[in-house]
Amino acid sequence: METRSLYIHIPFCLHMCSYCDFCKVFYQKKQVDDYLAVLKKELASLKIDLPLKTIYIGGGTPTSLDDEQLEWLMDIIKPYISNDTKEVTIEVNPETLDCYKLDILKKGGITRLSIGVETFNDDLLKAINRKHNCMQIKRVIDYAHRLGFNNISIDLMYGLPGQTIEDIKKDLDIIKLLNIQHVSYYALILEDHTVLKNQNYLPLDEEDEANINELIDERLAQMGFIKYEISNYAKPGFESLHNLAYWQYDNYYGVGLGASSKIDNRIIEHSRNLNSYLKFQDITTELCNSKEETMFNHLMMSLRLVKGLDLKAFEKYYGIKVLDLYPRAINKHLSLKTLVIEDGYLRCTKDSIKLLNTILLDFI
């Protein structure tokens, strides 16, 4: 399988959010300079010979970098952008972005902004230790429009401490007023060793989560967003191509601290040890999955998509029909109508997609 997607991890942040377990460290100017130098070497060492279709710069907070560093990062990715590149995304945090940085991103070839909004409610933002406010979010979107960005995504969360249904409805009302093309809407997950988990904050129960999900689905659909993955919604033609590569279980390179690559059946993971990375002596682990594990992972990822698993593509990759691989589980769920086959895809229904983890147990 060809590898046509690249993920670049920038692990630096200016503050630590109370729910976050991502791979991140506090911003230090000298460390960032050293990091970018190693990142450039690491990219060169991959000897990428096919044009990339998608590039995604995530974090951390990539826009915590200062102007010069951001320009340098754009220079680093420049050789990997070609006419074949359909999407170059960067994650941005509103409080770290001004029109100068946005201009650097635009000139550097960024085509898509993914803004970490989480909520438009200033009190809730404070409660999770985010440092931006609603006004800054709107200002960033306004600047981005003026500079000609026409593919803007926002990330939102529900299930935040003290967040009510009314708060979520207000967030949805604000989305309606913004000219944006994509929304990722996630339930707060309480990961171990995060401040919220240590404070014994309790997540939503299943029923509340299902009701909120329903509300979000309904309201975003009214605004013209089409749900294409469990937590992702896009205006027609604005699905995240890079994330689709993950869900379709395509290959991808991952560079930078803590990033992972998937090359056929191999998952290559960087450690989260910044000192080793800065010496360009990162400890990577390589996991070679069996064909069965790879096929299961492919099915699991693709069933997250509303469209589902492409049956022909699956057969082409692995030389076996998914129906021959899992006859009992598939027949069981076809008769329960929790899975359907339509237009060459195996997919969940609108209701059963919420039970995906339970459905997958039958495939293990």
Binding site residues, ligand SF4, CB under 6 A: 13, 16-17, 20, 22, 24, 59-61, 93, 116
User: What single string gives the DSSP state of each residue in 30-62?
Assistant: HHHHHHHHHHHHHHHHH---S--SEEEEEES-G
Provide the minimum distance between the beta carbon of 268 and ligand SF4 in the complex, in angstroms, as a whole number.
22
Say whether 343 sits in a helix, a strand or coil: coil
Provide the minimum distance between the beta carbon of 149 and ligand SF4 in the complex, in angstroms, as a whole number.
20
- Looking at the Cβ atoms of 118 and 282, the one nearer to ligand SF4 is 118
- Looking at the Cβ atoms of 24 and 347, the one nearer to ligand SF4 is 24
Provide the minimum distance between the beta carbon of 159 and ligand SF4 in the complex, in angstroms, as a whole number.
15
- Looking at the Cβ atoms of 17 and 102, the one nearer to ligand SF4 is 17
Provide the minimum distance between the beta carbon of 140 and ligand SF4 in the complex, in angstroms, as a whole number.
14
Provide the minimum distance between the beta carbon of 14 and ligand SF4 in the complex, in angstroms, as a whole number.
8
Say whether 271 sits in a helix, a strand or coil: coil
The number of beta carbons lying within 10 Å of the beta carbon of residue 139 is 16
Provide the minimum distance between the beta carbon of 39 and ligand SF4 in the complex, in angstroms, as a whole number.
17
Could you tell me the sign of the dihedral formed by the alpha carbons of 22, 23, 24, 29, in that order?
negative
Q: What is the CA radius of gyration of the chain?
A: 21
Q: What's the per-residue H, E or C state across 299-340?
A: HHHHCCECCCEEHHHHHHHHCCCHHHHCHHHHHHHHHHCCEE
- Looking at the Cβ atoms of 59 and 108, the one nearer to ligand SF4 is 59
- Looking at the Cβ atoms of 108 and 116, the one nearer to ligand SF4 is 116
Question: Would you say 363 and 299 are in contact if contact means Cβ atoms under 8 Å apart?
Answer: yes
Give every CB contact of residue 241 below 8 A, 6+ residues apart in sequence: 53, 54, 86, 87
One-letter amino acid of 203:
P
Give every CB contact of residue 292 below 8 A, 6+ residues apart in sequence: none
Say whether 156 sits in a helix, a strand or coil: strand
Provide the minimum distance between the beta carbon of 86 and ligand SF4 in the complex, in angstroms, as a whole number.
26
| 129's tokens | 């230790």
Provide the minimum distance between the beta carbon of 13 and ligand SF4 in the complex, in angstroms, as a whole number.
3
- Looking at the Cβ atoms of 93 and 163, the one nearer to ligand SF4 is 93
CA distance 145 to 128: 28
- Looking at the Cβ atoms of 64 and 240, the one nearer to ligand SF4 is 64
- Looking at the Cβ atoms of 73 and 305, the one nearer to ligand SF4 is 73
One-letter amino acid of 362:
D
